[in-house]
Homo-oligomer: A and B are copies of this chain.
Amino acid sequence: MGPIFEELFMDPSGLARLGRLHTCHGAIDTPCFMPVGTQAAVKALSPEDLKECGAQIILGNTYHLYLRPGHRLIEELGGLHSFMSWDRPILTDSGGFQVFSLAGFRKIEEEGAVFRSHIDGSYRRLTPELAIEIQEALGSDIMMCLDTCIPYPVDEKDAAEATALTSRWAARCKAAKRRKELHLFGIIQGGMSRQLRQKSAEDLIEIGFNGYALGGLSVGEPKEMLFEMVETTRPLIPKRHPVYLMGVGAPEDLVECVSRGIDMFDCVMPTRNARNGMLFTSSGRIVIKNACFQRDPGPIDPCCGCYACRNYSRAYLRHLFMAKELLAYRLLSIHNIHYYLSLMKEIRGAIKKGCLEAWRQAFYRKREELCSGHQ
């Protein structure tokens, strides 16, 4: 088997890069964005919708699938790909972030995280070994180590302890891994401390993973801090590995972080915002329920080629949204996912041509020029 990640083209900046990530279910072009399919479905979308939008890989949530319907049930039914009828790569997170953000009660112990299920209130213990067991049962192409999330702000001592525990759990995750064909990524923690981030990266690189993620970012810190953490941590990771920035972010964040060397992204923003009627367009964001769209015969974005923009007017989509028609959520989600995936495709094209910086400036200029007219 060849290397799991190939760096195909490096931008003149020396940071942004075009790559290819190989998995059991095929290769992924990077930089890439992964739509989030929390409960074995990307909300409101079918696999065909996702493919038409250009999705190469999606993300599943270990925490949710463990609680419902359960990883053993999914395994019995042939694994997550077969269960949800998706034949392209899947990355699953480890559940660490959801324990942190969703569970009604949580206690972090050396052995693992004890928490109360947000579904039925039952007490559960998620250990590094169980996180791997679940992800192997799901048949995830890219598994993530169980990590401990650090709130923001946090005191240095707590951050240091949580970061050290994440390293110990990472070693246990690697030891627990049985299925050689699946990839395992380590998650670099460290809060907003450069020193802790560096220590975390060194620990994980020493253990050795197929790829590395930056976790615990976009948790309420100022944007400059996020960029600083990416800028200072990214260079510590050897070039032969893909680097994944977890849970980030807005389109601008993707543009900025690709320029800082990130290869992979995921975020609920495109689908969640769609369900709230907020749409991304080449000229900025629009809120479909606004009265100005009531009689608007144009598509969401005249520059967009998605199914929703090819077939429906803003007036119709606004009507569906106001009437709470289920079709609205699907059409708006298709548009936003298409926007994100097209953005990444454009970015890859710009890197290939060696003109990412010029593309980036044009991206912002276009929004400035057009934005005011559509808000």
Contact = CB atoms under 8 A, between A and B. Distances in A.
A323 B64 CA distance: 10
A312 interface: yes
A85 interface: yes
B85 A315 contact: no
A73 B326 contact: no
Interface bracket on A: 35 or more
A325 B43 contact: yes
Nearest to A44: B326
Contact of A315 (B73, B313, B318): B73
Interface string A38-49: 011101111100
A294 B329 contact: no
Contact of A312 (B85, B323, B331): B85
Interface stretch (A76-84, A179-187, A196-204, A341-349): A76-84
Nearest to A322: B68
Contact of A327 (B44, B68, B76): B44
A102 interface: no
Given A294-B73, A297-B77, A316-B77, A330 B41 contact: no
A311 interface: yes
A69 interface: yes
Interface in A292-347: 294-295, 297, 311-313, 315-316, 318-320, 322-323, 325-327, 329-331
A295 B76 contact: yes
Contacts of A315: 69, 73, 77, 83
Contact of A68 (B45, B69, B323): B323
A78 B46 CA distance: 30
Among A73, A311, A330, A331, max chain B CB count under 10 A is at A330
Contact of A326 (B43, B85, B318, B320): B43
B323 A39 contact: yes
A297 B74 CA distance: 10
Contacts of A39: 319-320, 323, 325
Contacts of A331: 46
B68 A319 contact: yes
A44 B327 CA distance: 5
A310 to B, nearest CB: 9
29 contacts: A39-B319, A39-B323, A39-B325, A40-B316, A40-B319, A40-B320, A41-B320, A41-B325, A43-B325, A44-B330, A45-B327, A46-B330, A46-B331, A47-B311, A68-B322, A68-B323, A69-B315, A69-B318, A76-B295, A77-B295, A77-B316, A78-B297, A83-B313, A83-B319, A85-B311, A85-B312, A326-B326, A326-B329, A326-B330
Interface of A: 39-41, 43-47, 68-69, 73, 76-78, 83-85, 294-295, 297, 311-313, 315-316, 318-320, 322-323, 325-327, 329-331
